[in-house]
């Protein structure tokens, strides 16, 4: 890999131990992937999670204690936030988990992370434009950055995210290159999605069927919103490993089919109509019968608009006794909800608000739940698997309110 003089000095330790370690990691990664250089990034989005694994805070603290400081705009994904420890008196959380969550938070914030604690950093001011190189983690955020914003990031992993934020560099390979961003699978919609439920399901189908591809979607309505693209990308990233998709006439690298494929011939073509939708609904719903234990809303983290909608539906209702109705939300959206009186409506109804958190990082398996309801296809796909094994009923927000409240 060819490094600039400045990068060579960074690798030699001229800018401190944290930068040296970070540079060593990036150069090794770049060499492994055949990158010929590093490129400067304009932003990073990092993870500070897995507090149950001792190595997680250890790695974070190693960089922090070596003097690591983030040199680009760096936001942080949800972790198990200390504001949510011991949410319910009947479920005591492991002390180690809480201790390690705090270690992670202090270390990442000490290096200069903007404490967004959200998987929608683009709604919190980390908003790169088309063509910018960035180093982001978290599959739904990566999908949004690549597909909706047209910025360029690989599926950056834990450790590499810190190294990129500390050096302001990332190896030039994968989705940073034009040739790897061109579509190679065609998806033709026989039925247009109309609402968030439909977009969730569409993403789920695409992810399941085209896991390692760059899908080009033909037939999304012009009225598609960025929030609908958010859930489509999240679901596709959850059920597959899709880090980039194009939607003709909607996303920035897909003005036309010709541009989206960039000379590629689609390796595969699939049609999505009522048959595929019905099959996906049967596949995603693992709940058969029995009492509902929890309702989970907020994957990816909702906008204030979604909370307004939730408050309108839930006003005057009460969460059913025995059910936990959980909302996962970023701090800034919650702050707006507080100012608008929405938080009060939700709390009065009995909703438990998890600020800056995600169910995946909570000790959910100790809560004894079996059956959950969610409006997120990403949760619906992830939660039936290890370590939670929940049965899932996938529905829309209205369905969540009807199942969880009276």
CB nearer to ligand F3S: give 78 or 168.
78
How far from chain centre, in Å, is Cα 283?
A: 22
The CB-of-365 to ligand F3S minimum distance in angstroms stands at 15
> How far is it, in rounded angstroms, from Cα 260 to Cα 336?
38
CB nearer to ligand F3S: give 107 or 358.
358
CB nearer to ligand F3S: give 260 or 358.
358
Residue 7 binds to ligand F3S (criterion: CB under 6 A): no
Instruction: State both tokens at 248.
Output: 């003709």
Residue 378 binds to ligand F3S (criterion: CB under 6 A): yes
Residue 77 binds to ligand F3S (criterion: CB under 6 A): yes
Residue 394 binds to ligand F3S (criterion: CB under 6 A): no
CB nearer to ligand F3S: give 119 or 218.
119
Residue 302 binds to ligand F3S (criterion: CB under 6 A): no
Residue 360 binds to ligand F3S (criterion: CB under 6 A): yes
> How far is it, in rounded angstroms, from Cα 121 to Cα 78?
10
The CB-of-390 to ligand F3S minimum distance in angstroms stands at 13
Using CB under 6 A, pick the residue from 261, 328, 390, 394 that binds ligand F3S.
328
Instruction: State both tokens at 400.
Output: 């969540």
Beta-carbon neighbour count of residue 36 at 10 Å?
11
Instruction: State both tokens at 136.
Output: 């982001």
The CB-of-278 to ligand F3S minimum distance in angstroms stands at 25
Residue 249's Cβ-count burial label (10 Å; 0-12, 13-18, 19+) is: middle
Long-range contacts of range 283-287, CB-CB < 8 Å, 24 or more positions apart? Answer: 283/208, 284/201, 284/204, 284/377, 284/380, 284/381, 284/392, 284/394, 285/380, 285/392, 285/393, 285/394, 286/384, 286/390, 286/391, 286/392, 287/371, 287/372, 287/373, 287/391, 287/392, 287/393
Residue 356 binds to ligand F3S (criterion: CB under 6 A): no
The CB-of-341 to ligand F3S minimum distance in angstroms stands at 25
Using CB under 6 A, pick the residue from 78, 150, 302, 356 that binds ligand F3S.
78
Residues near ligand F3S (CB under 6 A) are: 77-78, 119, 138, 140, 234, 299-301, 328, 358, 360, 378
């Amino acid at each position: 890999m060819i490094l600039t003089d400045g990068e060579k000095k960074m690798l030699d330790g001229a800018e401190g131990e944290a930068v040296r370690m970070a540079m060593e990691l990036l150069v090794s990664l770049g060499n492994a992937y055949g990158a010929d250089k590093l490129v400067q990034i304009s932003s990073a989005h990092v993870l500070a999670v897995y507090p149950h694994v001792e190595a997680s805070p250890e790695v974070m603290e190693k960089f922090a204690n070596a003097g690591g400081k983030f040199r680009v705009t760096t936001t942080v994904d949800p972790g198990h936030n200390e504001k949510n420890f011991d949410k319910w008196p009947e479920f005591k959380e492991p002390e180690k988990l809480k201790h390690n969550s705090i270690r992670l938070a202090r270390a990442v914030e000490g290096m200069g992370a903007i404490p967004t604690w959200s998987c929608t950093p683009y709604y919190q001011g980390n908003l790169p434009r088309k063509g910018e190189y960035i180093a982001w983690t978290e599959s739904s955020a990566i999908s949004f950055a690549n597909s909706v914003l047209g910025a360029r990031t690989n599926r950056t992993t834990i450790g590499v995210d810190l190294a990129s934020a500390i050096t302001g560099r990332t190896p030039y390979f994968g989705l940073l290159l034009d040739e790897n961003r061109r579509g190679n699978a065609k998806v033709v919609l026989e039925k247009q999605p109309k609402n968030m439920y439909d977009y969730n399901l569409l993403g789920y189908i695409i992810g399941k069927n085209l896991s390692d591809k760059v899908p080009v979607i033909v037939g999304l309505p012009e009225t598609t919103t960025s929030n609908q693209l958010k859930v489509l990308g999240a679901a596709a990233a959850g059920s597959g490993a899709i880090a980039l998709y194009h939607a003709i006439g909607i996303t920035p690298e897909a003005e036309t089919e010709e541009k989206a494929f960039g000379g590629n011939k689609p390796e595969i073509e699939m049609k999505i109509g009522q048959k595929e939708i019905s099959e996906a609904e049967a596949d995603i719903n693992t709940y058969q019968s029995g009492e509902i234990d929890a309702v989970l809303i907020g994957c990816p983290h909702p906008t204030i608009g979604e909370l307004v909608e939730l408050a309108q539906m839930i006003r005057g209702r009460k969460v059913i006794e025995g059910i936990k109705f959980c909302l996962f939300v970023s701090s800034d959206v919650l702050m707006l909800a507080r100012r608008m009186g929405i938080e009060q409506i939700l709390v009065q109804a009995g909703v438990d608000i998890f600020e800056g958190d995600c169910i995946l990082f909570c000790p959910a398996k100790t809560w004894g739940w079996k059956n959950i309801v969610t409006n997120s296809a990403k949760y619906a796909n992830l939660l039936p698997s290890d370590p939670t094994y929940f049965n899932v009923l996938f529905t829309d927000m209205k369905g969540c309110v009807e199942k969880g409240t009276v």
